Structure 1
């Protein structure tokens, strides 16, 4: 149970960090149909470079996904794989995920151009953006096109994480069904684990609804050159609700956190 709590806490901490970087700490303001924007958060105020902020933000988002994989992997290991070959492989597997999470955005970071010429080209194509540019907070151009190395490194990371989630989710479901047929675990234990897996699946819906779908809309806007700053801002506002929604859902779904929350506020 302690292992489960630690993995849940890890998931929540990365979710919180992602929301902090998207709001008060980083607060990126991106312009529709361009790969450019300005940071408005605390990190900019203390002099942290925009490129570094982008890298940290994408890395934190990656670790949100990795922490979700770890939730499923931990449940699978504790229930069904403690005495199998997986106990030797899981630690290199975790090291691989962590290393990939740190490194996958580095090609994009190092491919970010020097700003003078890209800014001039941006203002030629989108002169309306000049009003948002200032010496104190200049518009930062992440790219004028889509370099294939950064794009493919991000796609590969996304595909690997999705495959890992599907694999461990499927393994959990299949092994639970097998345990029912063989009566390897008690009905109470099985029901507890089913409830846990169900709650994790619901928690995955939060990133899907509040991050993936709005991000997909932003990607469609960029791909089809849809200039609608209002809907872009709405999508980013929805993304910023990810933290509070995932926290409320975790307190509601996970009994240990719900009990502790009630204890703090003296709820019966």
Structure 2
């Protein structure tokens, strides 16, 4: 078995990731809050909302909690700097933030759709439906794990006994099995169905919003007059495609892998640890791509760390009633 399966090695890798990612998250947040140009002000706060929850998930996984998952049961223990905090509370916070990341992605796409195609058209019904839509999504993300949290076994010694009787190889690389905290020993299949259903719902919403936004923008392209305008719009669409790929490849794919491996035998420590490590990279990779793709943030980076002066011009293109900021 690879060394990454051992708690100490796994923890040190996550600490190294946090040391790399936290400065990047701080720089990304600084760019959004203080270097976002006026032409992009309509997406500033939804972009920061996404950045905040992505960074929070990264920091929870790589620094604060460092969850060491043990078995098909929802069980394990924290290795991070908050390892002395109540484990059930850490799990609740981690699960909630985990779901708020895709919810914030939905908010970002919905905001772009509203600003571009609804805001200046008062008869569109989405103007009134968007608030219940967003509120329900956030309620799902915040409350879906509360029933499990309220049913955490009070007798942890008995819960560990049940766990290790069913899966003797669980946490085989942990010397002190008393560290293991069992969050749920109930119907694991039902818990997975609930989690899979919510994950599928959120992913479906992201895809639908992204497709609708892309189709409407493609139609708007037909009104473009100059070749330069068309070229800049295609550049914007390419950046949008990458933004769509980020949550699917860096968030939902690891999540799906974790769900599948957690339903196998208990001797899957390597897969559990790789899942956490991979997911802890989600936010920092998104931040790096954001800085690279958005010209205003890229210029800030080049101005601070590069060898040439940044181009302060912001490429924009104007369609009827629509103003775009081009990365």
The CA deviation at 1:60 is: 0.8
Question: Is 1:49 matched up with 2:123?
Answer: no
Q: Write the deviation string for residues 100-135 of structure 1: whole angstroms up to 9, x where unpaired.
A: 221122122223323232111122234454773649
When residues 73 and 224 of structure 1 are mapped into structure 2, their CA distance, relative to the original with a 3 A threshold, is same
> 1:142 is paired with a residue of what secondary structure?
strand
When residues 161 and 235 of structure 1 are mapped into structure 2, their CA distance, relative to the original with a 3 A threshold, is closer
The CA deviation at 1:230 is: 2.6
Q: Is this contact kept in 2: 1:72–1:165, CA < 8 A?
A: yes
Question: Is 1:233 matched up with 2:273?
Answer: yes
Q: Is this contact kept in 2: 1:221–1:227, CA < 8 A?
A: no
When residues 235 and 158 of structure 1 are mapped into structure 2, their CA distance, relative to the original with a 3 A threshold, is closer
Question: Is 1:39 matched up with 2:81?
Answer: no
Partner of residue 78, structure 1 = 115
Question: Is 1:259 matched up with 2:299?
Answer: yes
Q: Is this contact kept in 1: 2:102–2:247, CA < 8 A?
A: no
The CA deviation at 1:189 is: 6.3
Gaps of at least 5 residues in structure 1 are none
> 2:184 is paired with a residue of what secondary structure?
coil
> 2:64 is paired with a residue of what secondary structure?
coil
The separation in 2 between residues aligned to 1:189 and 1:9, in whole angstroms, is 28
Partner of residue 19, structure 1 = 58
Partner of residue 325, structure 2 = none
The CA RMSD measured in Å over matched residues stands at 2.8
Question: Is 1:217 matched up with 2:257?
Answer: yes
Larger proportion of helix: 1
The separation in 1 between residues aligned to 2:188 and 2:230, in whole angstroms, is 48
Question: Is 1:112 matched up with 2:149?
Answer: no
**TM-score (normalised: structure 1):** 0.84
The CA deviation at 1:39 is: 0.6
Aligned length: 264
> 1:201 is paired with a residue of what secondary structure?
helix
> 1:44 is paired with a residue of what secondary structure?
coil
The CA deviation at 1:16 is: 0.5
**TM-score (normalised: structure 2):** 0.71
Listed as ranges, the matches of 1:1-268 within 5 Å are: 1-45=40-84, 48-82=85-119, 83=121, 84-114=124-154, 115-128=156-169, 129=171, 132=174, 134=176, 138-147=179-188, 150-181=191-222, 183=223, 194-225=234-265, 227-265=267-305, 267-268=307-308
The separation in 1 between residues aligned to 2:136 and 2:114, in whole angstroms, is 17
Q: Is this contact kept in 1: 2:73–2:188, CA < 8 A?
A: no
Q: Write the deviation string for residues 32-87 of structure 1: whole angstroms up to 9, x where unpaired.
A: 44432111112223xx2111111111111111101111121111111111112222
